[in-house]
Amino acid sequence: MTAIVVALNLALCFAGLSALALSLDRHHRDAFLVRAGAARARTLRIAGWAGIGLSFAAAVTLEGWNFGSVQWVGTLTGAALLVVAFLSYRPGWLRPAALLALPIALVALPLALYG
């Protein structure tokens, strides 16, 4: 079920990249009007890399090294473009959108595994 795995990858990459973007002062200010404190920025950074790492692990486990990695790079690009679009047009929506991506990933994971 490649389409489900693509959805799972997109959701995880999007959540991860959103956290990474918000860990940067400029984008944190765009979204929340204040700078991220050092601790918050670090938490966001760790969460962000974790999301991206999880997405890669899911892609490689579910699709194999060759397909999984190709597909993962594609979803990373798609998700990053989405993050940029949010930051540029609706920065305030980035956090809710990223939080919404997590349950989507949670639904997609069992579907991808057993669907």
Partner 1 sequence: MRQGFRQSMAWLHAWSGLVVGWVLFSVFVTGTASYYRAEISQWMRPELVAGATDPASSADLAAAYLQKAMPDAVGWYVELPKPEKPAVGVMWWKSLDGPFHQALLDSTSGAPVGARDTRGGDFLYRFHFELGMPPLWGRWIVGTCALVMLVALVSGIVTHRRIFADFFTFRRRRSQRGWLDAHNVFGVLALPFHLMITYTGLVTLAPMYMPWGVAAAYKGGEMRFYVDSGLMPDLRGPAGKPGTLAPLSSMIAQAIAERGEAPEGVSVYNPADAAASVVAIFEEPHGLAHEHPQIAFDGTTGAVLGRNGATRAAAKTSTVMLGLHEGHFAGAALRALFFLCGIMGAATVATGLVLWAVARAPKGAKADGFGVRLVRVLNLGTIAGLPAGIAAYFLANRLLPLDLAARADWEVGVFFGAWALVAVLGAVRPAGTVWREGLALVGALFLAVPFVGAIATGLHPLAGELRFLGFDAAMIVLGVLFVLAARKAGRPRPPQAQRADAAIAGREALRA
Q: Among residues 41, 50, 60, 80, which is the contact residue for partner 1, using CB under 8 A?
A: 80
Does 66 bind partner 1 (CB under 8 A)? Our answer is yes
Minimum distance, C-beta of residue 99 to partner 1, in the bound complex (Å)? 18
Q: Among residues 57, 70, 99, 111, which is the contact residue for partner 1, using CB under 8 A?
A: 70
- Stretches 34-42, 43-51, 82-90, 101-109: which one binds partner 1 (CB under 8 A)? 82-90
Question: Which of residues 50 and 74 has its CB atom nearest to partner 1 in the complex?
Answer: 74
Q: How many CB atoms are closer than 10 A to CB 92?
A: 12
Minimum distance, C-beta of residue 93 to partner 1, in the bound complex (Å)? 14
Minimum distance, C-beta of residue 10 to partner 1, in the bound complex (Å)? 9
Contact yes or no for 31/94 (Cβ under 8 A): yes
The end-to-end CA distance of the chain, in Å, is 7
